[in-house]
Amino acid sequence: MTVFDAYAAYYDLLYRDKAYGEEAGYVLGLLANHGVRTGSLLELGCGTGRHAEHFARSGFEIHGIDLSPAMVEQAAKRFETVASRHRFEVGDIRAVRLQREFDAVVSMFHVFSYQSTNDDLDRAFQTAALHLRQGGVFVFDFWYGPGVLTDRPAVRVREMSDDRIDLVRIAEPRFLPNENCVDVHYRVLLTDRSTGHAHRFEETHRMRYLFLPEIVQMAGVHGLEIAVAYAGQTRQAPGFDAWTGTAVAIRK
């Protein structure tokens, strides 16, 4: 079981306010700026398919990969009326090999920051490169080191509800400075609104914050040239006020 499976059924509630459409539009704009407006798209870390919905509406054929079977199941259900065109499957982005190339590879929501060791990152970049045609475009976001170290993570509490459940999630970060990582420990309380039954679980997500020189070097080993990097979802260079970076790489 992955760290995501315990709350996969509640994932869309947790992130119901996330602007998936705007984020997908931003990615589509970056792809278009680098010559990819349609074709095939591999999404590494597709989650429940919320970004993929928007990529598909723009004409892309989607192949989604995620480590969580529960999330892949939800993504497949989201696309079940057009399953012949789009595909979702369980896989580890460090190891999956589909024996085909795509026009674009996309990895959002900090999936690459979940690759917490150099070996993890190297293998993930290799996966992206092996699945891109020459001249294909890879867009990914990540925790941006200078911003994370300037505005360090703190304890945060989220409370969410829908017609079925009440949810409280407490996030407590712990820095691992010699590994460029943060362990984010989650305590989650779910209450069934109809029965009052409560379920509690805990999990820890290890996140790595990254720096542009190491990204350029690691991507370059696999024939990926970083064309540009932005702060968050802007067209501005990242700086000390940016927690998230977005990079665009071209397969040479």
What is the CATH classification number for the domain harbouring 63? Answer: 3.40.50.150
Nearest CA-CA partner of 224 in 46, 92, 105, 52: 105
Q: Is the pLDDT of residue 1 over 60?
A: no
Same domain, 117 and 26: yes
Same domain, 95 and 204: no
- Strands 181-192, 39-44: pairing is unpaired
Same domain, 55 and 130: yes
Same domain, 202 and 213: no
Same domain, 49 and 160: no
Same domain, 138 and 186: no
Distance CA 58, CA 81 (A): 17
On whether the CB atoms of residues 138 and 105 are closer than 8 A, the answer is yes
**CATH code at 155?**
2.20.130.10
Helix then strand then coil, in percent of the chain rounded to 5, is 30, 40, 30
Q: Is the pLDDT of residue 7 over 60?
A: no
How many structural domains comprise the chain? Answer: 2
Q: Is the pLDDT of residue 8 over 80?
A: no
CA distances from 12 to 88, 89, 172, 175 (A): 17, 19, 21, 28
Distance CA 134, CA 144 (A): 27
Q: Is the pLDDT of residue 36 over 50?
A: yes
The residue that leads in pLDDT, 173 or 14, is 173
Same domain, 68 and 190: no
What is the domain range of residue 180?
148-208
- Strands 102-107, 39-44: pairing is parallel
Same domain, 162 and 213: no
In the prediction, which pLDDT does 51 show?
95
Same domain, 198 and 78: no
Same domain, 64 and 80: yes
Rg (CA), the chain: 18
Percent of the chain whose predicted confidence (pLDDT) is above 70: 94
141-170: pLDDT as tens digits: 999 999 999 999 999 999 988 888 888 999
Same domain, 118 and 203: no
When pLDDT is cut at 50, 70 and 90, the band that residue 9 belongs to is low
62-112: pLDDT as tens digits: 999 999 998 899 899 988 876 678 999 999 999 999 999 999 999 999 999
Same domain, 83 and 197: no
